[in-house]
Structure 1
């Protein structure tokens, strides 16, 4: 059935206007983004078909533009709109460096980065560079792949800290397994970075490991003692 054949209280846009976004189903929200249907299928039909290809919204977010484009009724234009909407949602959840986020606890870091990292399928090692007020002034991906103390060289981290006149840094990486228990390599990498920071006068404040809806602060767990 075409959208315009539905009663007003069943049309996604009208429901959004009258009830607000929180009252709409996943399919209805997607239908609004998809906007138009195709012959024989409304935007709501396409949205429902799209949801059938994944188990949850997290998997939907991970689909590439190419994957979305292959789904019947989506096409490249709609795939681009969907991907842009997913990215905006992730940025709103995670915040951005432009938001001038001040760090006062490991939880602040986790709140800022969890949405960006908890569902990655590869390990990503990221450095956050802070000013004297512990406000994040820059974020940089240092390495992608299995963390190894011989691969993550302190020079790559601290040369960037010097460039942006950072007073302190926080490093973090994800464990795709979801288990945030530090490995021996995690501990070795932390020790090397901490020692280098002490020599340069740029403090390593923490090394945070992101897992599945959880995190571990190596400071809180006593690895910095």
Structure 2
């Protein structure tokens, strides 16, 4: 049985995995990416050479995708298991490429948003701060509970909201939280927190559309109730 030459046996400076960690996947060549997927070569051929040979034998990556398991197994160092893994990786990559960002509905008005949030937040025994991240069409592309607890400055911080906003490339955000007491009137902490978030949004170019406070069977929109100035 041939002894495999592992990727880790190459000089550290040439490890594709190390380069990916330090520089990011976009800086790796096709050969290096394929070598990571292959993991190991053979006794007489290390994995980078195997990856290079495969890419040399096929005209384009599209042609590589079209190869059958049997055709992949014609390369020395590619057995049935590795051929199956390669086909699975290529199909999974194709499915990711075809995927689209999910939409969780569109924010058409504070009224529609408020009534939706009543059903979601009423009855909770603790305050839950929810952030809805929107694209330029006001479609919700992500909704996340930022934290559970009172909106005081020692706990709540806008950075948690905007870290997620940047991650999903949101153009706008809308905030909502509940008052377990059932009374949706904003507290001083609510207003101060909202002001801080809006100021951060202005600096980052991410608009804060509204902050909805939900009570038992009613809500208050800070924008509609003129708390926005």
Shorter-normalised TM-score: what interval? 0.5 to 0.7
Q: Which runs of 5+ in 2 are unaligned?
A: 1-100
Q: Does 1:223 align with 2:227?
A: yes
What is aligned with 1:34?
A: none
Query: For the Cα contact (< 8 Å) 2:114–2:221, is it kept in 1?
Result: no
Instruction: Give the Å deviation of 1:104.
Output: 1.8
Q: Which residue of 1 aligns with 2:184?
A: 180
* Deviation for aligned residue 1:112: 2.6
Could you list the per-position Cα deviations for residues 80-136 of structure 1 after superposition, in whole angstroms to 9, with x for gaps in the alignment? xxxxxxxxxxxxxxxxx9664111211121233221101101100110000000010
Counterpart among 92, 102, 105 of residue 101 in structure 1: 105
Q: Which residue of 2 is the match for residue 150 of structure 1?
A: 154
Post-superposition, which runs of at least 4 consecutive aligned residues in structure 1 deviate over 3 A?
A: 97-100
Distance 1:139-1:100 versus aligned 2 partners, 3 A rule: closer
Q: TM-score, normalised by structure 2?
A: 0.54
CA RMSD, aligned part only?
1.5
Find the aligned partners of 1:143 and 1:216 in 2 and give their Cα distance. Answer: 20
Q: Equivalent residue for 2:171?
A: 167
Do the aligned residues in 2 keep the contact of 1:149 with 1:186 (CA within 8 Å)?
Answer: no
Listed as ranges, the gaps of 5+ residues in structure 1 are 1-96
Asked if residue 125 in structure 1 is aligned to residue 132 in structure 2, the reply is: no
Q: CA deviation at 1:149?
A: 2.6
Match of 2:214 in 1: 210
Q: Equivalent residue of 2:224, what SS?
A: coil
